[in-house]
């Protein structure tokens, strides 16, 4: 008996040695949401404590892993000041100490460099020369004017992160592309955007790869020399004694506490004297590395595949609630067409989304909208109904034309039973003038007229936080705490009343950070922050977009910068190419992270359909709204279906969250709003539509069934102007993606990187390939793609 007890104690001791304890609380409310990476500028930075801990008043102190970062808690314990000295390391850890527990916030030093931009006037003289582009969110006033130097060139020194920037020159108020720069793309509005490439030292940064694992530990491989590794389990940094580093390798044990959590995460960064590596995200299931897709649940945010529909244009499931305006001053294109919750419910019941592979539905706003038309288009000579849902006159009632509150509750319940998430499109920025809020408290909105007497409508950039979208849509003053409290409570009503899984947020950049912090804090207090997903809509620079992405605000935003370049490249319009797509994708991965929660869209309700551009029926650069009113947009070139398949392939295989705009799975066409909002169809598909649907479903299920496409590192292999080979790697699993964006067959002959496992590769779409050692050869037909797994 004593011998058996001795053996048992030896086994327990051995296990404990393999998986050391952190002796830190597992179920702390501050450990549920992964603390986001902060980018710190040289000098003073503000850290909002409530972004990272639930009760900032209990924070005892703030310290860091670097003597070159000075930390100080504010007197109000709302913020902490982080002062970065220029010589600070590229990556540091900030500790928020609360009752003796150190919660970690990973931080990196900005990679911004001073870059001198010059413009050759080619013998001409200008009074005012300005730069307008992504580096200043297309607002010239945010960048100093260019000054004439002694060489006859106009110049300005900018502080920019390395990356790709679209821009134009403003010469005495006339704006167009830079005639000195041959690299340009059509901007879709009859002009071109020039391309500025700012180079840095990114090729010297460490590169991390998952290598191998066992029941107790993980080994990573590292390209390039590194000085320090930062390994985190949830929001705890692993002690240095638990992390072994040697040339080209990082090895560490999984904390024993991880066994007690159904889902937890390991995150890793490494740094050297040049910069910071890519990040690794390794999900754990009850303390073991997740490798089986069956262990993924609908609460795993990275595993979402989102399907977005405009309710009124998806399916008419209940004709008794059809109430079109049927007025002579409302064109049928902008009237109600009958789509409703009953129609969505029918397709949930029919298994449409499960068959397609979508596991999250983004539903357009359901709030009651006005019963009379508003606005006017001189071009179309029509007023508009609120069929889209973005003109709320109620903050708690489902529009009777879409259904009832009870129908929505039932829909969410049924969706959850089928492991489908429901995201609601929430409008916080504005209300309609018929809304009781505005009638009772007009002072709770921003001024319609500016001090100079000009109308404050559609001032997207210079009046970003106050502009009205139209004269009948008052912008709420979300700098007023009362208004913030009211609107966050409204959002929480929808969340709790209908048991939602998150929000898509309209007009994110036009809303104060105060609102986002307050809403997310209320969600966390409901103990739901780690489960719910919030994604925003912001058009602008990566810097502006990322300013809303912290643990205390939003999970992700739609990556319109990647979408814009990918959309035109795969459609074959605008002069862009896949090397430019790769450059902008690289910028996004650095800015938002290699395992970001950004939305990669196939299209949306505010843009022309991909098919219209790819088929040539809509000319790139023409007025896409006017085209939709003035002529029927069809599909005259069926290769557009093949091109759309490439766009879907790209979105389903890069880091981020794929978002399918309703109808893009079958190739619906249309010019810009409202023509891009045609009715979805579920039968009568032609061979091309049915074929595209099958391919999109194949892609979606491939992603769902293979964690490598969800959590794998991104490896660029062979980028060309009209072809691309890249891969995703997750330990011994990999997916190799080949894209031929050309009208001719393309033969890929390449040597696969040593990090990739070449055993057992199979083609998804039955393309033949040969592999001898690491030498691969594969030929793709025109406008086609292949994924080897």
Q: Measured between alpha carbons, how far is 121 from 178 in angstroms, rounded to an integer?
A: 10
What would the pLDDT profile of 595-644 be if each residue is shown by its tens digit?
A: 999 999 999 999 999 999 999 999 998 999 999 999 999 999 999 999 99
Average pLDDT over residues 115-128: 96
Secondary structure tally for the chain: helices H, strands E: 15, 41
Quick one: pLDDT at residue 420?
98
Could you tell me what percent of the chain has a pLDDT over 90?
Answer: 93
Q: Measured between alpha carbons, how far is 83 from 72 in angstroms, rounded to an integer?
A: 9
Average pLDDT over residues 289-306: 97
Quick one: pLDDT at residue 27?
86
CA distances from 1 to 4, 6, 7, 8 (A): 5, 9, 10, 11
Quick one: pLDDT at residue 189?
79
3-state secondary structure of 675: helix
Q: Measured between alpha carbons, how far is 463 from 421 in angstroms, rounded to an integer?
A: 35
DSSP tag of 623 = -
What would the pLDDT profile of 533-566 be if each residue is shown by its tens digit?
A: 999 999 999 999 999 999 999 999 999 999 999 9
Strand bridging mode 421-426 / 360-363 = parallel
Quick one: pLDDT at residue 335?
98
Beta-carbon contacts of 292 under 8 Å, excluding residues fewer than 6 positions away, are: 285, 707
Q: Measured between alpha carbons, how far is 287 from 112 in angstroms, rounded to an integer?
A: 38
Average pLDDT over residues 582-586: 96
Average pLDDT over residues 137-166: 95
Place 14 in a pLDDT band, splitting at 50, 70 and 90: very low
Quick one: pLDDT at residue 643?
98
In 564-668, the DSSP E strands lie at: 599-601, 657-661
Buried-state track 589-604, b at ≥16 Cβ within 10 A, e below 16: bbbbbbbbbbbbbbbb
Average pLDDT over residues 5-23: 56
Average pLDDT score over the chain = 95
- Decide if pLDDT at 3 tops 70: no
What would the pLDDT profile of 418-468 be if each residue is shown by its tens digit?
A: 999 999 999 999 999 999 999 999 999 999 999 999 999 999 988 999 999
Which of 692, 694, 703, 695 is CA-nearest to residue 611? 692
Q: What are phi and psi of 142, to 5 degrees?
A: -80, -5
Place 18 in a pLDDT band, splitting at 50, 70 and 90: low
Average pLDDT over residues 119-145: 94
Q: Measured between alpha carbons, how far is 212 from 505 in angstroms, rounded to an integer?
A: 39
Tokens of 290: 């997740």
Q: How many CA atoms lie within 13 A of 657 on its CB side?
A: 30
Q: Measured between alpha carbons, how far is 400 from 319 in angstroms, rounded to an integer?
A: 12
What would the pLDDT profile of 664-720 be if each residue is shown by its tens digit?
A: 999 999 999 999 999 999 999 999 999 999 999 999 999 999 999 999 999 999 999
Q: Measured between alpha carbons, how far is 545 from 557 in angstroms, rounded to an integer?
A: 7
Quick one: pLDDT at residue 527?
76
Distance of CA 444 to the CA centre of its chain: 31
pTM of the full structure: 0.96
Tokens of 635: 């599909």
- Decide if pLDDT at 100 tops 90: yes
Q: Measured between alpha carbons, how far is 643 from 613 in angstroms, rounded to an integer?
A: 10
DSSP tag of 193 = E
> CB of 333 within 8 A of CB of 324?
no
């Amino acid at each position: 008996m004593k011998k058996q007890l001795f053996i048992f104690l030896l086994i327990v001791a051995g296990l404990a040695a393999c998986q050391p304890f952190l002796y830190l609380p597992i179920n702390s409310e501050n450990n549920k949401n992964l603390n986001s990476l902060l980018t710190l500028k040289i000098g003073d930075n503000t850290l909002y404590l409530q972004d990272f801990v639930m009760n900032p008043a209990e924070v005892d102190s703030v310290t860091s892993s670097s003597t070159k970062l000075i930390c100080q808690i504010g007197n109000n314990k709302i913020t902490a000041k982080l002062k970065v000295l220029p010589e600070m390391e590229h990556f540091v850890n900030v500790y928020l100490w609360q009752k003796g527990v150190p919660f970690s916030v990973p931080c990196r030093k900005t990679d911004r460099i001073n870059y001198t931009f010059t413009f050759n006037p080619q013998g001409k003289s200008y009074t005012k020369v300005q730069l307008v582009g992504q580096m200043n969110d297309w607002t010239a006033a945010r960048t100093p004017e260019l000054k004439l130097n002694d060489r006859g060139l106009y110049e300005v020194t900018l502080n920019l992160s390395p990356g790709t920037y679209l821009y134009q020159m403003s010469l005495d108020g006339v704006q167009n592309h830079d005639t000195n720069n041959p690299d340009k793309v059509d901007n879709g509005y009859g002009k071109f955007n020039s391309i500025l490439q700012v180079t840095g030292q990114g090729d010297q940064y460490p590169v991390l790869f998952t290598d191998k694992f066992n029941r107790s530990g993980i080994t990573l491989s590292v390209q390039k020399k590194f000085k320090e590794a930062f390994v985190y389990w949830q929001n705890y940094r692993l002690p240095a004694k638990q992390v072994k580093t040697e040339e080209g390798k990082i090895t560490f044990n999984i904390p024993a506490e991880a066994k007690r959590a159904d889902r937890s995460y390991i995150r890793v960064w490494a740094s050297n004297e040049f910069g910071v590596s890519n990040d690794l995200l390794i999900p754990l299931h009850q303390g073991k590395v997740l490798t089986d897709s069956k262990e993924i649940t609908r609460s795993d945010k990275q595993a979402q595949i989102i399907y977005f529909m405009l309710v009124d244009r998806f399916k008419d499931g209940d004709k008794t609630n059809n109430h079109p305006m049927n007025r002579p001053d409302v064109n049928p294109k902008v009237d109600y067409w009958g789509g409703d919750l009953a129609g969505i419910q029918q397709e949930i019941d029919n298994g449409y989304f499960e068959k397609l592979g979508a596991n999250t539905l983004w539903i357009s706003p359901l709030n009651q909208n006005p019963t009379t038309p508003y606005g006017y288009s001189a071009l179309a000579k029509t007023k508009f109904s609120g069929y889209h849902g973005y003109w709320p006159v109620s903050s708690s009632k489902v529009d009777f034309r879409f259904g009832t509150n009870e129908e929505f509750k039932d829909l969410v319940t049924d969706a959850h039973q089928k492991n489908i998430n429901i995201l609601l499109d929430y409008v916080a920025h504005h209300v309609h003038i018929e809304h009781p809020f505005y009638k009772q408290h007009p002072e709770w909105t921003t001024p319609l007229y500016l001090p100079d007497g000009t109308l404050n409508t559609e001032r997207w950039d210079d009046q970003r936080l106050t502009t009205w979208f139209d004269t009948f849509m008052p912008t709420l003053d979300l700098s007023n705490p009362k208004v913030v409290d009211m609107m966050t409570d409204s959002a929480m009503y929808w969340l709790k009343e209908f048991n939602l899984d998150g929000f898509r947020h309209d007009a994110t950049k036009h809303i104060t950070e105060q609102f986002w912090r307050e809403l997310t804090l209320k969600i966390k207090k409901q103990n739901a922050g780690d489960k719910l997903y919030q994604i925003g809509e912001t058009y602008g620079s990566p810097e502006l977009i990322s300013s809303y992405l912290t643990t205390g605000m939003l999970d992700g935003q739609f990556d319109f910068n990647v979408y814009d370049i990918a959309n035109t490249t795969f459609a074959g319009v605008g002069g862009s190419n896949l090397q430019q797509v790769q450059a902008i994708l690289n910028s996004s991965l650095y800015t938002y992270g290699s395992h970001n929660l950004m939305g990669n869209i196939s299209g949306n309700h505010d843009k022309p359909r991909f098919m219209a551009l790819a088929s040539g029926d809509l000319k790139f650069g023409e007025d896409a709204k006017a085209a939709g009113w003035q002529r029927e947009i069809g599909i005259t070139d069926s290769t557009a279906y093949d091109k759309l398949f490439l766009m879907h392939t790209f979105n389903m295989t890069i880091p981020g969250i794929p978002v399918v705009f309703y109808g893009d799975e079958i190739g619906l066409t249309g010019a810009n709003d409202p023509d891009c909002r045609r009715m979805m169809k579920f039968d009568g598909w032609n061979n091309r539509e049915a074929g595209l649907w099958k391919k999109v479903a194949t892609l979606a299920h491939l992603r769902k069934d293979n964690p490598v496409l969800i959590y794998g590192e991104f490896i660029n292999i062979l980028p060309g102007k009209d072809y691309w080979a890249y891969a995703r790697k997750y330990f011994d699993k990999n997916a190799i993606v080949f894209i031929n964006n050309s009208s001719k067959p393309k033969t890929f002959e390449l040597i696969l990187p040593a990090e990739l496992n070449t055993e057992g590769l199979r083609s998804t779409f039955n393309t033949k390939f040969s592999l001898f050692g690491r030498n691969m050869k594969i030929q793709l037909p025109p406008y086609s793609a292949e994924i080897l797994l």
